[in-house]
Amino acid sequence: MESDPKIEGIGSNDSDRMGLSILTCCVGLATILAISPSILLPADAGVDVITRDNLSDAQVVALAEADFAITPAQLNEARMAIHLVLLDENSTLMVAGTWNGTLELGDMPAIESSGSRDVFFASLGSDGRWQWQIVLAGDGYDSISTLEETPDHWIIRGRFHGSLSLGDDAIESDNNWSASGYEAWIGPDERLRLWQYDTILLPSASADLWCGFR
């Protein structure tokens, strides 16, 4: 995995070279400090409103078969839950959710949670097949606040307790009593990065349940 996301469209004039130097410096500094480079280079985030009308019949069936939580009470029953979604240009649904117990998405390998609630990010094709899944595992309760798509990776931000890991990256909470913030970068070529993220920059509440497939 590359240490930094790919940067495209950089020009040759002095201002572009200066911008590239600043970006490289910020990402490098963030890597050293184990904090998100978005703190140094904030970006606008946005999640599309996705409903059943935007999905294929096969996707609706696959989501229904997974038996995701659709009420807070069901969330407390340790069921899988979807919080935020994105739909790409190929009609592939990118799903960001949480689970406790066993994560079971179609024919994907089942994964047991590490903490009281872990985070997953998965891809559901228009043919109704789950294509891949990535998990953020920790030893406490983890949640999702925002989901963002960039030209070459996805960004998930949220809160965690204790510790959190993604691929070869791991971070520790700086507070034993309240949640710390995280930012995860997930690339389509399995590039994975994880940083601490200031909770002040997160929405005050975690993302609600998404039930747009019903």
pLDDT tens digits for 83-133? 999 999 999 999 999 999 999 999 999 999 998 899 999 999 999 999 999
Asked if residue 209 is part of any domain, the answer here is: no
Q: Answer yes or no: do 107 and 33 share one domain.
A: no
Q: Answer yes or no: do 183 and 118 share one domain.
A: yes
For residue 48, the model assigns a pLDDT of: 61
Give the tens place of pLDDT for each residue, 152-197.
999 999 999 999 999 999 999 987 788 999 999 999 877 899 999 9
State the residue for tokens 């070459």. 152
Structural domain including 33 reads 8-42
Q: Answer yes or no: do 24 and 119 share one domain.
A: no
Q: Answer yes or no: do 128 and 161 share one domain.
A: yes
Give the tens place of pLDDT for each residue, 11-50.
344 444 444 343 444 444 444 444 454 444 444 444 568 9
Count of domains in the chain? Answer: 2
Q: Answer yes or no: do 37 and 107 share one domain.
A: no
Q: Answer yes or no: do 76 and 26 share one domain.
A: no
Give Cβ neighbours of residue 169 (< 8 Å, ≥ 6 apart): 192, 193, 194, 195
H-helix or E-strand spanning residue 93: strand 93-99
DSSP class of 35: B
The answer to pTM > 0.85 is no
